[in-house]
Amino acid sequence: MKLELDRIPPSLNKMRLMGPYAYRDLRILWEHDLKYGTQGASHTEQFRLQAQEAGKMIVTIHVYRRKDLDYDNLVGGCKPVLDALVNVRYLRDDSPQHITVTYLQASPFKPRTVITIEPEK
């Protein structure tokens, strides 16, 4: 499944300055976008059920932004994205036993995030 959103995750440096309520609000924005604002996704309960029953999943988060971040800032900033994917049931869990995540970024592009989720073969 491929999800394309017009939102980009903040850097880890920006997230460290957030309070717990600001982080919660950010995660809720991602959840809303994943449910209602994605382009090219098949939003079916069948996929969610398959994701819950599947073994390990391969997740690729590709962030297009105006300027590249340091890798650790990119990875840390993607935490609310993974949490939202679990909360909307596209992933069973975000632990290493259940997913393998690859983080990519490209610039300078129109800001957006493309998330690909596939079962491990």
Task: State the CB neighbour count (10 A cutoff) for residue 51.
Answer: 20
User: Measured between alpha carbons, how far is residue 74 from residues 38, 47, 114, 116 in Å?
Assistant: 21, 27, 14, 17
pLDDT band at 108 (very low <50, low <70, confident <90, very high): confident
Q: Is 39 a residue whose pLDDT tops 90?
A: no
Q: Determine how β-strand 99-106 pairs with β-strand 57-64.
A: parallel
Residue 109 belongs to domain with CATH number: 3.30.1330.70
3 state SS of 47: helix
Domain span holding position 20:
2-119
Q: What is the pLDDT of residues 43-74, one digit of tens each?
A: 556 666 666 677 889 999 999 999 999 999 99
Q: Is 40 a residue whose pLDDT tops 60?
A: no
- Of the candidates 33, 52, 35, 36, the one whose C-alpha atom is nearest the C-alpha of residue 119 is 52
pLDDT of residue 44: 54
Work out how many domains the chain is built from and give that number: 1
Summarize the chain as % helix, strand, coil (round to 5).
40, 25, 35
